[in-house]
Amino acid sequence: MSLAFTDIVGLEAAKQALLLLAVNPALAGVAIAATVGSGKSTLARAFAALLPEGAPFVELPVNVTEDRLLGGLDLEATLATGARAIERGLLARAHGGVLYADGLNLLDRSIVAHLMEALASGVVRVEREGLSAAHPARFVLVGAYDPSDGEVPRGLLDRIGLIVPFAPQTDARLRAEVVRRNQLRKGEAEAGALPSASSRLRNEAADDETHMLRAMIADARARLPHVRVHDEQVQALIQAALSLGVEGNRADVFAAQAALAKAALDGRDRVDDDDLRLAVRLVLLPRATRLPEANESYQAQDEQPRAPEEPGRSERDEPNGAPQVQSEQLEALLLSAAEAELPKDVLNLPFAMQQRGRSGSRGAALNNRRGRFVRAVEGDPHGNRIALLQTLVAAAPWQAVRRAGTRSSAQLAIRKEDIRIKRFRDKAGMLYIFAVDASGSMAINRMREAKGAAIRLLQDAYVHRDQVALIAFRGGRAQVLLQPSQSVERAKRELDVLPTGGGTPLASALLTAWELAQQARGRGIAQVTLVLMTDGRANVGLDSQASADKAGLQREIQQLAALLRAHGVRAIVIDTQANYLSRGEAPKLAEWLGGRYVYLPNARAEQIAKALT
């Protein structure tokens, strides 16, 4: 028994977003960041009940294979008829409806690429293993992800119109209510065949609400084409996007579509300021890469924009002042409203890439049957995946001969020696985590060389699909400057900021590295290498306090080092201390990590890169 959409407590922004999506599929999808147990899956299933009759709701498992996603040879039909038959994949089956993926950030790279392709073209093309076909695949994507499992590929996130950022449920009463309602439902389900009168009543009430919502959505969909949005309003959205540093021009269109959907949902024919605010909140804000500059136009916020006249007729961008001023006021209004929503640290937004993962990710998603299908070999079908095409090809030439001995001519004779099994190669490369001591006077130099080494590694490592992450540690705690990335461009850009000076929170750096390593495992990266550039002299503990308790600090570091070692993280400690000051701490650290010790007091980028390969 599932909960009805309206019965779900919390996740208000997600509900709002899903309703907008149901009204306006041009929004392409909704991405919901929420932790396990917040009810996101329940919500998605309840959403399915709101869809028009016959619209499919297809679930995309995290470990889906390319065959299943795109479609492939339908063996049964192919063997039965002797002509190839294609089985539609999940993308094609979602056509006209919803594709639901829980774990957007855990999907395989190639799966993400196919999703993006289908979202962009509305068609799924199969060109593999002897098949060539195209199926329509226009669907909206509802995706959920647990931010602590790592980030959603930005390319994918960009194609999803509405993004509901992570909002921890801190309200204790709300949490209690979630649990209460869930248990009520469960209790009823377990009571089985004899539902109590009260629960029947509640069910009917829920049904009524579902009916009502469906009618509301249908009404809004009919209204949508007639809703008007003013040029000044679109302009205000665009200016807000510019102020927030939103990349690309796609978000403008999504923002306008979201505002239109909201107006339609509220039964209005015109977009108003509330609609725009919602659009900013669900479309632009989650894509922000910087805080809007505090500007003087906030004073203007109590001046209401002129009531739009002559709607629908678009006044072409006249530069004669009036509309410009108006849209600026509107933009200020939008941004000041957005300001309140903005987390203190804009870098916590998904597009700013600085989410700090928590520990306890789902562990290794890797198994020996994933990766890319490389070739087919003869082998035992038990526990392996059969390569259909190759099996058929192997069997084909013998058919005439084998048939000769039997009466039947329709059957395909496949023998054991024809069976071919698939061999996979996992393409995930290495992850290099650079953890750089940014405290002290040599910090700037160290950071520059670490950056150079990171970029060099990326450039040499293209074929291996390696990734690089960079952690700087100074002051109270370590900070991830660059999330695992393959991009030289990003590395160059994001490593331009080099905060230096302060204490040495070595323990925090080790913990952060371990978290990154865990996330990488979740994405199937087999080998993680930690490159630690430090003199090894820690003076700040995990509690972010400078501590004189040397023994305590050492213990902490030793434990963390053992943890990294236990998880198979390869370590290299690059000692950057000028020799006469060295007290042998870096070598000790290397020993604890079970890693290599390299003494490079004036470490150059090339030397570091060389030491790693």
Partner 1 sequence: MSAQIAAEPARALRADHSGAASASSAVHYPFTAIVGQEEMKLCLLLNVIDPRIGGVMIMGHRGTGKSTAVRALADVLPMITRVKGDPFNRTPEEVARDALPIESAAERNGASPTPRQPRDSRLRTERIPVPVVDLPLGATEDRVCGTIDIEAALTQGVKRFEPGLLARANHGFLYIDEVNLLDDHLVDVLLDVAASGWNVVEREGISVRHPARFVLVGSGNPEEGELRPQLLDRFGLHARIVTITDVAQRMEIVRRRRAFDADPRAFIAAWQPQQRALRRRIVAAQKRLAEVEMPDDALMVAAELCMRLGVDGHRGELTLARAACALAAFEGRPRVTRDDVKRVAVPALRHRLRRDPLETTDAGERIERALMELQAQA
Which residues participate in catalysis according to the annotation? 250
Does 206 sit near partner 1 (CB under 8 A)? no
Cβ 29 to partner 1, closest distance in Å?
A: 10
Rounded Cα–Cα distance for residues 222 and 504 (Å):
61
Closest CB to partner 1 among residues 228, 358: 228
Which residues contact residue 536 at a Cβ distance below 8 angstroms, ignoring those fewer than 6 apart? 506, 573, 575, 577, 585, 586, 587, 588, 589
Rounded Cα–Cα distance for residues 539 and 533 (Å):
16
What 3-state class would DSSP assign to 169? coil
Does 249 sit near partner 1 (CB under 8 A)? yes
Cβ 556 to partner 1, closest distance in Å?
A: 36
Cβ 498 to partner 1, closest distance in Å?
A: 14
Cα–Cα separations (whole angstroms), residue 482 to 34, 80, 516: 23, 54, 11
Q: Which of 128, 214, 423, 588 binds partner 1 (CB under 8 A)?
A: 128
Contact between 435 and 473 (Cβ < 8 Å): yes
- Rule CB under 8 A: which of 289-328 touch partner 1? 314, 317
Cα–Cα separations (whole angstroms), residue 469 to 91, 485, 512, 524: 33, 6, 11, 16
Rounded Cα–Cα distance for residues 311 and 314 (Å):
8
Rounded Cα–Cα distance for residues 467 and 520 (Å):
10
Does 415 sit near partner 1 (CB under 8 A)? no
DSSP state of 546: B
| Neighbour-count burial of 463, counting CB atoms closer than 10 A to its CB (0-12 exposed, 13-18 middle, 19+ buried) | exposed
Binding window for partner 1 (CB under 8 A); candidates: 124-132, 299-307, 471-479, 577-585: 124-132
Does 239 sit near partner 1 (CB under 8 A)? yes
Contact between 512 and 544 (Cβ < 8 Å): no
Closest CB to partner 1 among residues 51, 600: 51
Closest CB to partner 1 among residues 238, 421: 238
Cβ 338 to partner 1, closest distance in Å?
A: 18
Does 129 sit near partner 1 (CB under 8 A)? yes
Q: Which of 15, 95, 474, 477 binds partner 1 (CB under 8 A)?
A: 95
* Residue in the structure block whose two tokens are 């499992």: 149
Q: Which of 2, 26, 273, 370 binds partner 1 (CB under 8 A)?
A: 26
Beta strands 596-599 and 477-485: pairing type?
unpaired
Enumerate the H helices of 308-428 as residue ranges. 322-341, 388-395, 399-404
The two three-digit tokens of residue 338, written as one number: 């957005």
Total binding residues toward partner 1, as defined by CB under 8 A: 96
* Residue in the structure block whose two tokens are 């009919």: 222
Cβ 221 to partner 1, closest distance in Å?
A: 8
Binding window for partner 1 (CB under 8 A); candidates: 293-301, 434-442, 455-463, 535-543: 455-463
Site string for partner 1, 374-393 (x = CB under 8 A): ---------------x--xx
Residues β-bridged to residue 145:
33
Rounded Cα–Cα distance for residues 161 and 141 (Å):
10
Angle at which helices 585-593 and 550-566 cross, to 10°: 40
Does 338 sit near partner 1 (CB under 8 A)? no
- Rule CB under 8 A: which of 565-604 touch partner 1? none
Closest CB to partner 1 among residues 132, 196: 132
Which residues contact residue 32 at a Cβ distance below 8 angstroms, ignoring those fewer than 6 apart? 11, 14, 17, 40, 43, 142, 143, 144, 145, 164
Q: Which of 396, 444, 562, 566 binds partner 1 (CB under 8 A)?
A: 396
DSSP state of 286: G
Cβ 41 to partner 1, closest distance in Å?
A: 20
Binding window for partner 1 (CB under 8 A); candidates: 112-120, 207-215, 473-481, 511-519: 112-120
Closest CB to partner 1 among residues 109, 567: 109
Does 424 sit near partner 1 (CB under 8 A)? no
Binding window for partner 1 (CB under 8 A); candidates: 162-170, 184-192, 246-254, 592-600: 246-254
Does 231 sit near partner 1 (CB under 8 A)? yes
Closest CB to partner 1 among residues 158, 535: 158
Does 120 sit near partner 1 (CB under 8 A)? yes
Closest CB to partner 1 among residues 387, 569: 387
Q: Which of 248, 321, 363, 383 binds partner 1 (CB under 8 A)?
A: 248
Does 456 sit near partner 1 (CB under 8 A)? yes
Q: Closest Cα to residue 369, out of 383, 381, 379?
A: 383
What 3-state class would DSSP assign to 240? helix
Cβ 101 to partner 1, closest distance in Å?
A: 16
Closest CB to partner 1 among residues 129, 188: 129
| The residue type at 58 | V
Does 488 sit near partner 1 (CB under 8 A)? yes
Cβ 72 to partner 1, closest distance in Å?
A: 10
Cα–Cα separations (whole angstroms), residue 364 to 63, 256, 521: 12, 40, 5
Enumerate the H helices of 314-427 as residue ranges. 322-341, 388-395, 399-404
- Rule CB under 8 A: which of 147-186 touch partner 1? 153-155, 158-159
Does 430 sit near partner 1 (CB under 8 A)? no
Q: Which of 12, 204, 208, 247 binds partner 1 (CB under 8 A)?
A: 247
Q: Which of 2, 35, 74, 96 binds partner 1 (CB under 8 A)?
A: 96
- Rule CB under 8 A: which of 38-77 touch partner 1? 51-55, 66, 70
Residues β-bridged to residue 573:
532, 597
Does 474 sit near partner 1 (CB under 8 A)? no
Q: Closest Cα to residue 485, out of 150, 148, 117?
A: 150
Q: Which of 9, 13, 19, 22 binds partner 1 (CB under 8 A)?
A: 22
Cβ 250 to partner 1, closest distance in Å?
A: 3
Rounded Cα–Cα distance for residues 274 and 281 (Å):
10
Beta strands 162-164 and 29-33: pairing type?
parallel
Q: Which of 43, 46, 107, 114 binds partner 1 (CB under 8 A)?
A: 114
Contact between 529 and 432 (Cβ < 8 Å): yes
Does 234 sit near partner 1 (CB under 8 A)? yes
